[in-house]
Structure 1
Amino acid sequence: MRETSDQGRRPYHHGNLREALIEATLGLIEAKGPLGFTLAEAARQAGVSAAAPYRHFRGRDELIEGVALKGFEIFADQLEAAWNDGHPTLLTAFFAVGRAYLDFARRNPGYYIAMFESGVSIAGNPDLARAADRAMGVLREAAERLAAHLPPGKRPPSGMIANHVWALSHGVVELFTRGAPGARAPYSADEMLESGTAIYLRGLGLIS
């Protein structure tokens, strides 16, 4: 079965409808923000009828959750690839994960906004929660490995470290992308994140 738009655009096969809507929504999120468009507008952008999105999404919020879910899946894949890329030390692997975080945000603003700035409830959506936890799991594993040399009673919680580094990474993204207030800094986003992470890890005694 095929869906065609009332605008005469190229039709999409039903099996591709969900993907087409997500791709169309990415552009709308980047251009107008997560609250700046309607579900009907996303349908027009995808080249399908106004009723077509309801086959997969109950409304705009659920469509944005679909975008966020795909974003978290790609994000987790990229963090895992960065961590497992055969680095000479645990610290260089940890820094590579940070660079992958920034690279994802730079290359995928629509996904990033849907994931972190749209107000979607990650805890309220089991699929979103699993995908987000897989991404966070990379940082937890890295923290556990970095703390393994400390006595068990002196190891800081890996979840705390993961959340702190995640927050630091998000802050750097905001400084260097949203209006780019960090663009005038004498260092790059990658350098800022790496130095901040090193200071944090050194303060915890995880690196010397």
Structure 2
Amino acid sequence: MGKQGYHHGNLRQALVEATLTLIAEKGPQGFTMAEAAKLAGVSTAAPYRHFSGREALIAEAARQGFEIFVTRMEAAFNDARPNPLTAFMATGRAYLAFARSNAGHYVAMFESGLSVNSNPELADAAARAQAILTRAAAALSAHLPTDRRPPAAMFAAHVWAMSHGVVELYARGTPGARAPFPPEDLLESGISVYLRGLGLIPPDSTP
């Protein structure tokens, strides 16, 4: 594995980039601080100038991932905002696209066993990501009578769980190669079934 090196004054980010590479290759528990240092092209002592240990490195990778995730989810939502249904479906597609293009970030965020409350910056970024989907759910469910309207946070959590399941089973790694249908189609059809059950999509329509 070749050294990546780093520009003077940017050791912290060089270590995060090395961590993302190692997470994608070996998983969040499959590497050491020494390996991150080696990949970044620095001494084994150098990472401790910025991070207390591997968990702190992973937490920063996760925080940066949530920041990217927020930007992409917001763009997807805002681009389709005039139509609440289209905007809601767009956030689901953005979720899958992020998981594919930012594998190291995604694992750090959702599969490392790290608590999002491990530091305030990470907690804030994670909360902003959740808020986008909750906002999209609230805008869509506003079309339902109040007595049949699920809490927006619950609505969002159901779709988040569905999105995560599609990613885990069909959108990444070897399992993805065995997907019976494209992951985007699986997620969109699953969300459509959910929305029909709520009465937000007529039985014979396509979102």
Whether the 8 Å contact between 2:80 and 2:90 is mirrored in structure 1 is: no
Provide the secondary structure at the position in 1 that maps to 2:11.
helix
- 1:12 is matched with 7
Q: Is structure 2 residue 67 aligned with structure 1 residue 73?
A: yes
- 1:90 is matched with 84
1:110 CA displacement: 0.6
Q: Is structure 2 residue 178 aligned with structure 1 residue 183?
A: yes
- Mean Cα displacement is larger for which, 175-184 or 116-125? 175-184
Whether the 8 Å contact between 1:12 and 1:48 is mirrored in structure 2 is: no
Which amino acid is the alignment partner of residue 175 of structure 2?
A
Which amino acid is the alignment partner of residue 174 of structure 2?
G
Alpha-carbon distance in structure 2 between the residues aligned to 1:29 and 1:51 = 20
Alpha-carbon distance in structure 1 between the residues aligned to 2:199 and 2:188 = 16
Q: After the TM superposition, which residues 54-133 of structure 1 pair with which residues of structure 2 at under 5 Å, given as runs?
A: 54-86=48-80, 89-133=83-127
Q: Describe the superposition over 1:31-56 as per-residue Cα deviations: whole angstroms up to 9, x where unpaired.
A: 11111111111011111121111121
Alpha-carbon distance in structure 2 between the residues aligned to 1:10 and 1:116 = 28
- Mean Cα displacement is larger for which, 29-38 or 120-129? 120-129
Q: Is structure 2 residue 187 aligned with structure 1 residue 193?
A: yes
Whether the 8 Å contact between 1:175 and 1:182 is mirrored in structure 2 is: no
Tell me the TM-score normalised to structure 1 length.
0.89
- Mean Cα displacement is larger for which, 40-49 or 87-96? 87-96
Alpha-carbon distance in structure 2 between the residues aligned to 1:124 and 1:34 = 16
Q: Describe the superposition over 1:17-42 as per-residue Cα deviations: whole angstroms up to 9, x where unpaired.
A: 11111111111111111111111110
Alpha-carbon distance in structure 1 between the residues aligned to 2:182 and 2:194 = 18
Q: 2:162 aligns with which of 165, 168, 173?
A: 168
Alpha-carbon distance in structure 2 between the residues aligned to 1:143 and 1:40 = 44
1:182 CA displacement: 6.4
1:184 CA displacement: 4.0
Tell me the TM-score normalised to structure 2 length.
0.90
1:155 CA displacement: 1.6
Alpha-carbon distance in structure 2 between the residues aligned to 1:34 and 1:101 = 20
Structure 2: runs of 5+ lacking an equivalent: 203-207
When residues 178 and 85 of structure 1 are mapped into structure 2, their CA distance, relative to the original with a 3 A threshold, is: same
Which amino acid is the alignment partner of residue 48 of structure 2?
Y
Runs of 4+ in 1 over 4 A off after TM superposition: 7-11
- 1:53 is matched with 47
When residues 18 and 139 of structure 1 are mapped into structure 2, their CA distance, relative to the original with a 3 A threshold, is: same
- 1:24 is matched with 18
Q: What is the number of equivalent residue pairs in this alignment?
A: 200
Aligned-CA RMSD value: 1.9
Provide the secondary structure at the position in 1 that maps to 2:44.
coil
